[in-house]
Amino acid sequence: MAKIPQILLIYTGGTIGMVKDYKTGALRTFNFDKLLKHIPEINHLNCSISSISFDQPIDSSNMNTKNWVDISKIIEENYKVYDGFVVLHGSDTMSYTASAISFMFENLSKPIIFTGSQLPIGDLRTDAKENLITSIEIASAQENGSPIISEVCLYFEYKLYRANRTTKVNAEHFEAFSSPNFPPLVESGVHLKFNKQLIKIPNSKKRLEVRKKLNNNVVILKIFPGITKAVVESILTIKGLEGVIIETYGSGNAPTEKWFVNLLKDAITKGIQIVNVTQCIGGSVIMGQYETSIELEKIGIISGNDITTESALAKLMYLLGENIKKNKFKSVYETSLRGEVSVVD
């Protein structure tokens, strides 16, 4: 007889774990041990569910690298016991956290699915029930005794995305997330439609490695018309700075003024790693396509390709934490490590 999948729910905080006190109208965190009381439909899922909560659930706006390590430790400590993990998280920074976890877990062979909601679980029109039920169902989906999904994903409003491809695009619609450069792995309708050709196949022969050294001496610099030398200089000379995500125009274009290029060049000479990502929601950085990005390519700026800003930042923190040799960093960063960038054949 097939073993029933064991799923661990990890509640970090966020709207999904709130219930409304209808007398006062205030939101409060509910006890996840009483989950079945709020969502009795979970009884019908073909899996066994346990839950664990942060001692102090936090708003996702307060998420930081320490919290990312805390999440990774909970999963690592329970990895052998459970067949899949569902992480409940506030939506505002979910793409950052989920992207970071995707890099921290090397040789993952089980699903880690992030989800949340726009309305609390006790709300009449809540999206929390559907998001939670379907996330658990996908996390417990198996074929020939192995999980169908074995990567870090994000589920929201009928779509399962590769986590490190996502970005939050709407603060009030239920369809809060988008994956502009990569299709959904699963679409939820009357049936769950798994797009199997897109799902990563795990290397089950390799042992799971959890990388918990993250370096957050990084900054995001968004280019805008009229940006001054003083602004760029003040950012690039921050004490202890080791990495910069530079958000450029279109396919990776930036001002060609000498002061701008020279400041970037000086930073690179000092060993600061600079990654070029596009401000556009969709599309890719193609350095050298226009004259306005030729100079960036010449001075050795790293191409982010079609990576999201959230994923680019998480990848930068992860790789800086791995102490990769300076002369190897660019080629490692430009390689797809967890399916976060499109590989051109």
Catalytic residues: 15
d(CA 314, CA 175) in angstroms, rounded, equals 23
Tokens 């700075």 locate to 241
Name residues whose C-beta falls within 8 Å of residue 338's C-beta, 6 or more positions apart in sequence: 102, 103, 151, 152, 164, 200
**Is residue 85 helix, strand or coil?**
strand
d(CA 191, CA 193) in angstroms, rounded, equals 6
**Element of type H or E holding 303:** strand 302-303
Residues in the chain: 345
d(CA 212, CA 310) in angstroms, rounded, equals 18
d(CA 336, CA 343) in angstroms, rounded, equals 7
Phi, psi of 162 (to 5 degrees): -65, 125
d(CA 334, CA 285) in angstroms, rounded, equals 11
The encoded tokens of residue 66 equal 């320490």
Identify whether the C-beta of residue 54 lies closer than 8 Å to the C-beta of residue 66: no
d(CA 160, CA 170) in angstroms, rounded, equals 17
Closest to 245 (Cα-Cα) out of 213, 266, 267, 270: 267
d(CA 135, CA 78) in angstroms, rounded, equals 18
